[in-house]
Every structure is written in C-alpha cells, then in structure tokens.
Structure 1
Amino acid sequence: MDKERLSAALGKIPSGIFIVTCGAGEQASGMLASWVQQAGFEPPALSVAVRKGRAVEPLLAEAGQPFAVHILTKAMGKTAGHFGKGFAPTEPAFEGIPTRMGKHGVPILTEALAYFECQVRGRLDAGDHWIVVGEILEGEVLAEGESWVHTRKNGFTY
C-alpha cells in the first residue's frame, strides 16, 4: 500500500465541523469533532468518532449517558479553535462560550447552527477511535446558514 497516495485519497472525504458536549457540572466538557454522521432513522441516531485517550472518552462510554452534537458554520472558527485544543478532565470548557442547559442535562451551544441531544446506545472499537452511537432525543435548528464542511490534506491526521 502506498500510504502517501492513500492519505491524499482519504483526505478528500468531506466531513463537517461539530462540537460534542457531555457531562454536567464540573464534569462538563466538549470536543471538536469532524467525523459525525446520521446513523439511523428509527430511532433517529448519530455516530461520532472519538479519539481514544481524550478527556471526554469516559463521558461517552456507557449506554444512557447524555451528550449533544452541535453543527457549526464557518463563522464559528473561534469556537472551533476553543474546543479543538482539548481540555483536562476538570478544566472549565465553556468559559466565554454562550450556553444553556439542555433538557437532558448537557450544555447546549446557543450560537450553533443546530444541535442534537442524544444518549449513548453503544460504541464500537475502531482502532485509535471509538465510534459512539447515540440515539437522538431532541434536536433544533438555532440559526440560518450553511453547515461547515471541509476536506483534509492528509487522511491520517486531523
């Protein structure tokens, strides 16, 4: 296998820019995600790829745990950068970020294009990532605009 050619080809797969929030109180956190996809119609479900070792990993490990997925626009680059740096387990992740509490106890980013509140249904080991499947419990469009879609130059890194 020619890894350089494969990397270039993998980088052409389009993905979005999303923020995943989970936990509550001092345990509340968030992460930048690009691998999110609708995974089912009935019940409605999403899949989210979470790199192993991230601080949010334990908050998305067990069935029933709530989390939210937020769709960003290109105008939300500052928010993407904020969550892209990652957070230690007790580090405050939402300072300076407008939020409200969702119906299922997780932070909702009020400036997102849209959001979904979910609960973990299960997860699949995908090597260096977990694929977390979440059943959608709530969802809403918060603003008008276009979803932020991008491609990568290298299919082996973010």
Structure 2
Amino acid sequence: MAGMAAGTAPETTTTQALDGRTLRSALGHFATGVTIVTGIGTRGRPVGVTANSFASVSLDPPLVSWSLSRESPNLATFREGGRFAINILSEDQQSLSARFARPVEDKFASVPWFPGTTGCPILPDGLAWFDCRVHASHDVGDHVIFIGRVVAFEERGGAPLVFFGGRYLSAPDLYEPDLSEPPSVR
C-alpha cells in the first residue's frame, strides 16, 4: 500500500475475538463453487450433502478432497463406505443445492441419478463429476477431511453455481476457462 512503512499494519486493522459467527462471516468473502457429494448408505440407499469445501489435491495420483462436519448424520456413511462422488453444480442447479443442504428425509426423491463406477450417485446436468475411492480421512477440528482417489470422471462444461457472502451467485463469464496451458506460478 502506498504511504505505509514496511512492516506496519494499516490503521483499519482490528483484532477481533475468534468467535464462530465473525470467523464464518470473514470466510464467506472467499467465493467457492458448489458441489453435492454422494455416497451409498445402509441397504444401498443413496445419501448426499451440499459442500463447498471441494479441492483438487494431486494430479498424480489423481486426488481430490472435501470436508464434512462431525455433526453430520451422514458421517458414518462416508467414513465406512470407502467411496464417494463429487458432483460440481451448474448455475441452474441452485434448488438442488438447497435441497441437499437441508435435512430432508429422502433427498433423492424425484432426483435423477445414475450409479458411477463405485456405485455412488452421479447427478446429471452438472459441470463435472468425480467418482472416488477414499484414499485417506483426517479428523481436523469440527470436521473430517476426506481425500479421494479419482477412479472415473466426466466434464460437461457450462456456467458454475457460485457461493459468496452467504448466497448463491452465477458467473456466466467463467464457463469457458482456458485449460490449454497451466497458469505459471512464481
């Protein structure tokens, strides 16, 4: 910043107590894509949750991650199932995201899906999906981080559903990424 001496904090910086509400508000300033993570529960029943914690971990081997609250009623399914699918949502799937974010008895009622390689539900009409076997899981704070090895995937393209500041947004100008060259990092 112009006019600031090196090593000094701007005058507007304040130290806030690290309470959950304030921290959540600050974290909400990071825009994310929106996914639905699916698995297979007891007696072959499909389960799914909305998550924006999805991330690429490695290309070789192909690994992705996401996290789930320890309070989730679906935690045992994902811990014990050994598999999950990540479905990246398009801008027109906001209602589907909201449905899987709430406690609904049968989230898959009237929702079309097909089984992936691992048997986990793949939702049509998303931007991409990744069918995974659990590579590792880590208990961290109030969440469990799942790392999955991708065994199958498909990319469809389109405009993404974005979550920012506690609300959904669409970003139609982002749907044509140039993936021909990896970005340079300095």
Matched, 1:38 2:45: no
Cα deviation for residue 47 of structure 1 reads 0.8
Taking the TM superposition and a 5 Å limit, the aligned residue runs for 1:48-59 are 48-59=66-77
| Paired AA for residue 39 in structure 2 | C
Greater Cα offset, 91-100 or 131-140: 91-100
Q: What's the Cα RMSD here? A: 2.2
TM-score of the two chains, using structure 2 as the length reference: 0.72
Match of 2:39 in 1: 22
Q: 1:123 aligns with which of 137, 145, 167?
A: 137
TM-superposed CA distance for 1:93, in Å, is: 2.6
Is the Cα contact below 8 Å between 2:83 and 2:118 reproduced in 1?
A: yes
| SS of equivalent residue, structure 1 residue 77 | helix
In the alignment, structure 1 segments of 5+ residues that lack a partner are: 154-158
| Aligned counterparts, 1:24-103, within 5 A | 25-62=43-80, 65-87=82-104, 91-103=105-117
Provide the identity percentage: 28
Aligned partner letter, 1:132: F
Separation of aligned partners in 1, 2:84 and 2:77:
8
Q: Which residue is 1:113 aligned to?
A: 127
Paired position in structure 2 for 1:150: 163
Q: CA deviation at 1:111?
A: 2.0
Q: Which protein, 1 or 2, shows the higher relative CO under an 8 Å CA cutoff with sep ≥ 6?
A: 1
User: Structure 1 length as normaliser, TM-score?
Assistant: 0.83
Larger radius of gyration: 2
Q: Is the 8 A contact 1:19 1:71 kept in 2?
A: yes
What displacement does 1:109 show? 0.5
The runs of at least 4 aligned residues of structure 1 exceeding 6 Å deviation read: none
Q: 1:6 to 1:79 in 2, by over 3 A?
A: closer
